[in-house]
Amino acid sequence: MNNNTYCSIRNTKQTQPKFQLELKNNGFSLSPLKVILWLSLLLNIFLLYKLNSAPKVVHTPPITMESQSNAEELPLEKKKSVVPASELNSPSALQPTPNIEKPTTTEIVEKKVEVESDWHIIRIQKGENLARIFAREGLSSKQLMLLLKDPEVKKNLIKILPGETLEIKLGADQQLLGLRYAISSTQTLIIEYDNNQFKSHVEEKPITTEAQYAHAVIENSLFDAGQKHNISDKLLLQFAEIFGWDVDFAKDLRKGDEIHLTYEVHKVDGKPISTGDILAAEFINKNTSYKAVRFLDSYNHAHYYTPDGYSMRKAFLRTPVNFTRISSKFNPGRLHPILHRIRSHKGVDYAAPTGTPIKASGDGRITFIGKKGGYGNVVILNHGAGYSTVYGHMVRFASKLKRGSRVQQGQVIGYVGQTGLANGPHLHYEFRVNGVQRDPLKVQLPKAEPIAKKYHQKFVEKTQQLLEMLNSFKRKLVQPEMIS
C-alpha cells in the first residue's frame, strides 16, 4: 500500500449545485370557436349514442378527458400521486388532490376525429428519404417539388429517420392533401394542401407539470435502490447533490437508509415525457433525518433549504478535490516520511493524479499565489469571518488568477502536483480559523446562510405546502409511476 504520499508541511466530491429549471406551465385557452366546436362534438356524440344506444360509442366521450383518462384507470393511490403544476405553488397543493377538472384541449378532440377519415400512417424504412417515400406511395413528384419549397419541410423533413412515422392524407388520384410529422414529443409539423399550394405550421402541444412522489429503501447502493423503485438516475444525482453537503454518499450510506421525494413530472397528452426539479425530499441516513425543500427566487432559480430556511449549500465544500484516498490526516505529532523527525501535520493530504483540478472550497479572495517553501506552488484564500484555506503542492495554477482575485466556491484554482516537499502527487489542504490550522475533517464549519429576509414570508408560504405534500405522500407510501 502506497501510504507515503506525504508532505512535509507543519502544519468529497462536491459540485456546485446549479438549478435553473423553470416550471413549464401552459395555460389552456378556450376561444369561442373552440367552445362551439366542442359543444357540437358533444352533441354529435350524444346523438350517436341515442341512435345506436350501442356500447361502443360510450367509449368516445372520454376522449375529451384524454389527459385524465390515464389517471382514471390508475388505482386510487397513483391517482393521488399527482398534483397539477398550477397547484404546486398554491394553497391547494397542501392536499395531494390531483385531477382537478380542467377544460381539456379541444385540439386533441379535433385530431382524433380527423384520424378517423383518410389519414394513414407511413413508417420510414432504412435508407428512405422523402423522394423515395413519395415514389413508394405513388405520389406525384410535382407535389414533392412544391412541398420541398416550404421552409418548415426543408428544416424538418429532410432528416427523417428510419422508424419514424409520417401521417398522410390522400385525395383522388393519390393527391397529397395533408401531412403530419412529430418533430418532438411536443411539436407536430402540420402541412395542408390547398389551392395548389402547401401551407405548413408547427403545432405545440401543451406540457403540463405535476408532482409525483417516490420512496426507496437502500439495500446496496443509491442507484440500485433507485432502479428498484423507478427513480431515474437524474433524480438521484439531484438528490445526492442536495444532501451531499451533509452526507458523504460514498462513505455514509447504510442499508436501511430511506429516500422520500416529490418531484415534477412533465406530461404531454397525459403521458410523462420528462422529470423536472425535486420539490421536497427527505433522506434518513443512519437514523438521522435530513430534509430539504425547493424555493424559487425572484429569477425563478431553484434553491434548496432546510425546512427552517437555511441553505442546503454550505459555506465550504466537504473536499476541494476528487481524491482517490486521504493519504495523511491532520496529526499534531507525526514522524515525517522525508525528514524522519517528528513534525506535526496540520492539514489533510488528498492523494490524486497529477493534474486533477483543485476547487476553491468556499467563496473568497486570493491572499497568496506562488511558491512558498515546502508547500511548493500554493494558493491561500481568505473567506472572511476569520476563515482561510490553503492548497499546496500544485503542479500549476488556474490561468488568470492573481493575488486579490475573487474566486467562487467550486471554481478551479489549480491542479494537483507534487511541488515543494512532497513525495507523490497530492493536495495538501489546510483549514484555518483565525490563522490557526484546524482539522478540516472535524472542524465545526460555519452554519449555512439563512434565506434572505426579503424572501422569508414567501419562503414560509411556499415551502410549507411542499413539505406538507411530502409528508402526506409519505404517510401513504405511494410508489411512483414509471417514467419512460
CA nearest 361: which of 313, 409, 433, 394? Answer: 409
Dist. CA 330–CA 441, nearest whole Å? 8
Query: Is residue 321 a contact point for Zn ion (CB under 5 A)?
Result: no
Query: Is residue 466 a contact point for Zn ion (CB under 5 A)?
Result: no
Choice from 66, 269, 349, 430 touching Zn ion (CB under 5 A): 349
Residue found by looking up cell 512535509 in the block: 8
Looking at the Cβ atoms of 84 and 414, the one nearer to Zn ion is: 414
| Nearest-approach distance from CB 348 to Zn ion, in angstroms | 7
Dist. CA 257–CA 264, nearest whole Å? 23
Looking at the Cβ atoms of 206 and 347, the one nearer to Zn ion is: 347
Residues 6+ apart with CB under 8 A from 425: 5, 351, 352, 353, 354, 356, 393, 395, 416, 417, 418
Choice from 7, 312, 427, 470 touching Zn ion (CB under 5 A): 7
Looking at the Cβ atoms of 376 and 410, the one nearer to Zn ion is: 376
CA nearest 365: which of 403, 406, 398? Answer: 406
Q: How far does CA 388 lie from the centroid of its chain?
A: 33
| Nearest-approach distance from CB 17 to Zn ion, in angstroms | 29
Choice from 80, 266, 267, 428 touching Zn ion (CB under 5 A): 428
Query: Is residue 147 a contact point for Zn ion (CB under 5 A)?
Result: no
Handedness of CA 247, 253, 257, 263 (dihedral sign): positive
Dist. CA 372–CA 370, nearest whole Å? 7
| Nearest-approach distance from CB 369 to Zn ion, in angstroms | 18
Looking at the Cβ atoms of 178 and 425, the one nearer to Zn ion is: 425
Contact 365, 332 (CB under 8 A): no
| Nearest-approach distance from CB 373 to Zn ion, in angstroms | 13
Query: Is residue 109 a contact point for Zn ion (CB under 5 A)?
Result: no
Query: Is residue 430 a contact point for Zn ion (CB under 5 A)?
Result: no
Dist. CA 92–CA 166, nearest whole Å? 42
CA distances to 120, 406, 411, 412 from 401, rounded to whole Å, are: 63, 9, 11, 10
Looking at the Cβ atoms of 7 and 381, the one nearer to Zn ion is: 7
Looking at the Cβ atoms of 309 and 347, the one nearer to Zn ion is: 347
Query: Is 106 strand, coil or helix?
Result: helix
Looking at the Cβ atoms of 344 and 464, the one nearer to Zn ion is: 344
Query: Is residue 280 a contact point for Zn ion (CB under 5 A)?
Result: no
| Nearest-approach distance from CB 266 to Zn ion, in angstroms | 48
| Nearest-approach distance from CB 7 to Zn ion, in angstroms | 4
Residues 6+ apart with CB under 8 A from 133: 122, 124, 166
Dist. CA 151–CA 129, nearest whole Å? 17
CA nearest 346: which of 423, 264, 431? Answer: 431
Dist. CA 379–CA 264, nearest whole Å? 42
What's the burial of 176, exposed, middle or buried (CB within 10 Å: 0-12/13-18/19+)? Answer: buried
Q: Of the ranges 223-231, 237-245, 251-259, 346-354, which one interacts with Zn ion (CB under 5 A)? A: 346-354
Q: Which three cell numbers stand for residue 50?
A: 341515442
Site track 370-409 with Zn ion (rule: CB under 5 A), x = hit: ----------------------------------------
Q: Which three cell numbers stand for residue 395?
A: 503542479
| Nearest-approach distance from CB 434 to Zn ion, in angstroms | 21
| Nearest-approach distance from CB 345 to Zn ion, in angstroms | 6
Q: Of the ranges 92-100, 150-158, 249-257, 345-353, which one interacts with Zn ion (CB under 5 A)? A: 345-353
Dist. CA 313–CA 294, nearest whole Å? 12
Q: Of the ranges 75-83, 210-218, 356-364, 424-432, which one interacts with Zn ion (CB under 5 A)? A: 424-432
Number of residues that bind Zn ion (CB under 5 A): 4
Query: Is residue 346 a contact point for Zn ion (CB under 5 A)?
Result: no
Q: Of the ranges 17-25, 280-288, 413-421, 425-433, which one interacts with Zn ion (CB under 5 A)? A: 425-433
CA nearest 83: which of 262, 230, 275? Answer: 262
Looking at the Cβ atoms of 215 and 428, the one nearer to Zn ion is: 428
| Nearest-approach distance from CB 428 to Zn ion, in angstroms | 3
Site track 191-220 with Zn ion (rule: CB under 5 A), x = hit: ------------------------------
Looking at the Cβ atoms of 106 and 327, the one nearer to Zn ion is: 327
Binding residues for Zn ion (CB under 5 A): 7, 347, 349, 428
